[in-house]
Amino acid sequence: MTQKRQKLDIRLFQDFWTNEYGFIQQKDHAVCALCCEIVVCRTSSVQRPYQTKHQSMFKNSEETSEAIKRAVSGYKNKLVFLVK
C-alpha cells in the first residue's frame, strides 16, 4: 500500500467536532447528538450535516453552543440508560 493510501485510511475522531458540530465518537464512526445521524470520521462529513440541517436552527453562537451541550449530555444519558 502506498504512503498516501495509508494516510487516507487513518481517520480519527477529532475532539473539537463535539463542541463545534455536536458529534460524538461511537466506535469508529461519528454520531450527531442532535439528529443521531452516523457519518465517517472526516471533517467534511461532519460539517455537511451540521451546515445543511442544524445551522439554520440557531440564531447566534451562544445559542448554538448551549443546544449542542444539552444534546451531547442527553445523548450520553441515553447510551448509559440503554447499556444498563
pLDDT computed for residue 54 by the predictor: 87
C-alpha 51: how far from chain center: 12
Q: Which three cell numbers stand for residue 11?
A: 481517520
Give the model confidence (pLDDT) of 60-76 as tens digits: 888 888 999 999 998 88
pTM score, whole prediction? 0.75
Number of domains in the chain: 1
Question: For residue 13, what is its C-alpha cell?
Answer: 475522531
Q: Which residues contact 37 (CB under 8 A, 6 or more apart)?
A: 31, 49
pLDDT value of position 38: 92
Q: What is the mean pLDDT of the chain?
A: 84
Q: What is the mean pLDDT of residues 9-14?
A: 77
Q: Which domain holds residue 47?
A: 3-83
